[in-house]
Amino acid sequence: MRLTRYFLPVLKENPAEAQIVSHRYMLRAGMIKQQAAGIYSWLPLGLRVLNRIQQIVHEEQERAGHIPLLMPTLQPADLWRESGRYDDYGQEMLRIKDRQDREMLYGPTNEEMITDIFRSHVNSYKDLPLTLYHIQWKFRDEMRPRFGVMRGREFLMKDGYNFDVDKASALHAYNRHMVSYLRTYERMGLTAIPMRADSGPIGGDDTHEFLVLASTGESEVFFDSAVTELKLGNREVDYDNRDEVAAVCKEFTTLYARTDETHDAALFDAIPEERRKVARGIEVGQIFYFGTKYSESMGATVVTADGSKVPVEMGSHGIGVSRLLGAIIEASHDDKGIIWPEGVTPFPVGIVNLKQGDAAADAACDSLYKALAAKGLEALYDDRDERAGAKFATMDLIGLPWRITVGPRGLANGVVELTSRRTGVSEEMAPEAAVARIAEIYAGI
Ligand code: ATP
Ligand code: MG
């Protein structure tokens, strides 16, 4: 993409309404525009990152054997009357009437609708296990929308629902989600720690929230610092192997890590003092086993192998897709701007032409651009007639992890400069070598 043909409305001034760094940088980098409290347009650069995040979520869900579908944003109120949540949900639910005076709502979540789909089509244990998910916009009329996409009213969520014949199978689905989430967040360059959370009236050890540590996080968290060292990495996990999946979950949930709702001071004090940490975190996901809560009230049953009819066992599992942009920026930035991890960056590399209009520099940039494209890498080429300083400032603000700088002086010696946004370290090399290096970096991503 050539910058002169793109739509990147960067702001020079710090927007006064933004209280935290991610919100400020998303506005300044021209990623989002607020349309109403907690409701945003996604401008081209923001949309690219949102799409990258969705792609990673889809890939990891499908790797775990979960099946995508798409449910609507608007739902009939009657479904929610069946579960009893229409009245319980309160003012967070946006209620709408259509022209026939039928009561509708903009979905804040989809347990009822997915249960309805299930009961319409499935009635035998032979069709289980089944996990269906979608990535869809939600609306919650939050009391205090703030921090940009971090706490919006309209926001994008991945929500998945497992259906299983018995509790042991449903707990395997829970564990499978935990492992797939760990891999999802790691691919986005994040450390998201599964923490025991409050399961509300259902009780038990059956919900975890995933938290990204950040001083601006809304949740207070308590953990053993050793938990931040755990990594899933590239290990192959067989998602059908219950013991293997459970062992990974055990590895990630044995060290103390809890939100304030479940915090236990006595257990916390047993951790060696230097590893005892109290911090703040951003909730980027939550997994939940809730058994037959919805299947019983909505009549979603299956016939088991011995011929008896039982309510299906369920759980629901959410990832805050749009919130993740904010969380990633909170975790990865400096005073010049965003530093995108390679996994989610809007463009893999930027090209800065130091002397637009110089025949050699223009030609070198064009051929770099084409060579990168030939390797499947779309560069953002700053071809504006601007000072070098302004071009660097834009690149630093929008946070592409790699920059290739091209100027007449370097070209006279046959080199361009490759710079890492994260370390600031620059290296001179032949243009072909820069292309090869970038291709190598992105090969495994
Ligand atoms: P919170 O406690 O932050 O209000 P929640 O526990 O009500 O969130 P869930 O129902 O668990 O949210 O939704 C799944 C995920 O969706 C959350 O983990 C979070 O990442 C994201 N999410 C929830 N509410 C919002 C919001 N208002 N704006 C953006 N993302 C949100
Ligand atoms: Mg939650």
pLDDT for residue 205: 58
Residue nearest to atom 24 of ligand 1 (CA): 151
Range of the domain at 394: 349-442
CA 287 to ligand 1 centroid distance, Å: 11
Distance 285 CA to ligand 2 centre (A): 6
H/E element, 402? strand 402-406
**The domain boundary residue, chosen from 284, 306, 338:** 338
Domain membership of residue 302 (yes or no) is yes
- Distance from residue 224's CA to the centre of ligand 1 (Å): 24
Residue 202, pLDDT > 60, answer no
pLDDT at 198 over 90: no
Are 333 and 362 within one domain? no
Q: Identify the pLDDT of residue 40.
A: 98
Cα–chain-centroid distance for residue 102?
Answer: 35
Please tell me whether residues 278 and 325 are part of one structural domain: yes
Distance CA 373, CA 361 (A): 18
Q: Where are the beta strands (DSSP E) in 119-215?
A: 130-139, 154-164, 192-196, 207-213
Going by C-alpha positions, the residue among 286, 239, 230, 244 that lies closest to residue 262 is 286
Q: What is the pLDDT of residue 200?
A: 63
Of 93, 157, 284, the residue with max ligand 1 atoms within 8 A of its CB, to mutate for a pocket test, comes to: 157
Which of 313, 338, 363 finishes a domain?
A: 338
Q: What is the mean pLDDT of the chain?
A: 96
Query: Which pLDDT score, from 0 to 100, does residue 204 have?
Result: 52
Q: What percent of the chain has pLDDT over 70?
A: 99
Q: Whose C-alpha lies nearest to ligand 1, atom 16?
A: 320
* Same domain, yes or no: 325 and 387: no
Identify the domain boundary among 338, 363, 384. Answer: 338
Does residue 127 carry a pLDDT above 80? yes
What residue's CA is closest to ligand 1, atom 25?
151
Same domain, 308 and 420: no
Instruction: Specify the ligand 1 atom closest to the Cα of 209.
Output: 18
pLDDT tens digits for range 149-196: 999 999 999 999 999 999 999 999 999 999 999 999 999 999 999 999
Write the DSSP symbol of residue 151. B
Same domain as 388, residue 289? no
- Which protein residue's CA is at the shortest distance from atom 3 of ligand 1? 283
Taking the centre of ligand 1 as the mean of its atom positions, its distance from the CA of residue 110, in whole angstroms, is: 13
Q: pLDDT band at residue 201, thresholds of 50, 70 and 90?
A: low
- Does any domain span residue 2? no
Q: Do residues 280 and 218 lie in contact, with contact meaning Cβ atoms separated by under 8 Å?
A: yes
Residue showing tokens 């099946």 = 67
To test the ligand 1 pocket, which listed residue (323, 324, 325, 330) has its Cβ within 8 A of the most ligand atoms? Answer: 323
Digit-coded pLDDT (tens) for 395-408 = 999 999 999 999 99
Same domain, 371 and 294: no
- SS3 assignment, position 136: strand
On whether both 310 and 261 belong to a single domain, the answer is: yes
Per-residue pLDDT at 401: 98
Assigned domain for 206 exists: yes
Q: What is the mean pLDDT of residues 13-38?
A: 96
Same domain as 362, residue 303 = no
Q: What kind and span of H or E run contains 185? A: helix 167-187
Q: Is the pLDDT of residue 67 over 90?
A: yes
436 is a domain residue:
yes
Residues 354 and 320 in one domain: no
Ligand 1: residues with CB < 6 A are: 109, 140, 142, 151-152, 155, 157, 283-286, 318, 320, 322-323
Band the pLDDT of 6: cuts 50, 70, 90.
very high
Number of domains in the chain: 2
Q: How far is the CA of 364 from the centre of ligand 1 (A)?
A: 47
> Residue 79: inside a domain, yes or no?
yes
pLDDT at 90 over 70: yes
- State how far the Cα of 42 lies from the Cα of 40, in Å rounded to an integer: 6
Task: Check which CATH number belongs to the domain holding 388 and give it.
Answer: 3.40.50.800
Residues 253 and 208 sit within 8 Å (Cβ to Cβ) = yes
| Rounded distance from Cα 4 to ligand 2 centre (Å) | 42
Instruction: Count CB atoms within 10 A of the CB of residue 409.
Output: 10
Domain match, 327 and 401 both: no
Task: Report how far apart the first and last C-alpha atoms of the chain are (Å, whole number).
Answer: 20
Q: Which of 158, 136, 114, 124 is nearest to 285 (CA)?
A: 158
Same domain, 314 and 360: no
* pLDDT score of 203 more than 80: no
Asked if 140 and 48 sit in the same domain, the reply is: yes
pLDDT, residue 412, reads: 97
Give the residue whose CA is nearest to atom 6 of ligand 1: 286
Residue type, 67: I
CATH number at residue 111: 3.30.930.10
| Per-residue pLDDT at 25 exceeds 70 | yes
Mean pLDDT of 340-346: 98
Q: Is residue 150 part of a domain?
A: yes
**Structural domain contains residue 343:** no
Identify which has the larger pLDDT, 338 or 197: 338
Mutation choice for ligand 1 from 283, 317, 325, CB with most ligand atoms inside 8 A: 283
- For ligand 1, atom 29, the nearest C-alpha belongs to 151
